[in-house]
């Protein structure tokens, strides 16, 4: 039986596959993938927050990027391939998130359609409320 990850090219391929899976799972949970602000200024929408400038923080300069960076918590991009230290760091992050969000409080649905509907609900009730273009996001918004 062949053991995965026995050479550097396999490690890079596995690392990239994991990053893509994390990216796709993150995308369906990104509320700005579900909406676009449509108003007189943006009759065709604001490209899911990409055309909504914010004051730069950790290099983000528009609303979509803020949400992509999980409201600044995960603003550093991991290296490829993922190193042993990165795995330890990822496990610590997962452990903390799981501790802060007990399983009893989480909808156990594994249906991506449910995830998309949850993202839409957040997007339609929260995303643009109480924020102003070109300004820093309020602390309570980030919290």
Angle at 93 between CA 33 and CA 73, to 5 degrees: 50
- Classify residue 49 as left (phi > 0), alpha (psi -120 to 50) or beta: left
Q: What pLDDT sits at residue 53?
A: 94
Task: Report residue 131's pLDDT band, with 50, 70 and 90 as the boundaries.
Answer: very high
Please compute the mean of the pLDDT values over residues 9-16 and round it to a whole number.
85
Q: Which tens digits make up the pLDDT trace of 31-53?
A: 998 888 888 888 998 999 999 99
Q: Which tens digits make up the pLDDT trace of 99-130?
A: 988 877 666 788 888 888 999 999 989 999 99
Task: Report residue 72's pLDDT band, with 50, 70 and 90 as the boundaries.
Answer: low
Q: What pLDDT sits at residue 1?
A: 43
Q: Per the confidence metrics, is the pTM higher than 0.85?
A: no
For residue 91, what are the contacts with CB-CB under 8 A and spacing of at least 6?
none
Q: What pLDDT sits at residue 14?
A: 86
Distance CA 23, CA 72 (A): 16
């Amino acid at each position: 039986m062949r053991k995965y990850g026995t050479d550097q090219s396999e490690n890079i391929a596995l690392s990239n596959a994991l990053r893509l899976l994390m990216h796709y799972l993150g995308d369906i949970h990104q509320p700005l993938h579900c909406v676009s602000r449509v108003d007189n200024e943006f009759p065709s929408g604001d490209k899911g927050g990409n055309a909504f400038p914010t004051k730069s923080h950790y290099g983000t300069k528009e609303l979509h990027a803020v949400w992509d960076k999980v409201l600044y918590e995960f603003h550093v991009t991991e290296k490829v391939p993922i190193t042993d230290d990165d795995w330890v760091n990822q496990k610590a992050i997962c452990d903390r998130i799981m501790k802060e969000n007990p399983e009893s409080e989480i909808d156990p649905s594994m249906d991506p359609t449910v995830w998309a509907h949850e993202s839409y609900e957040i997007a339609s009730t929260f995303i643009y409320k109480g924020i102003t273009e070109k300004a820093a996001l309020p602390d309570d918004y980030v919290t």
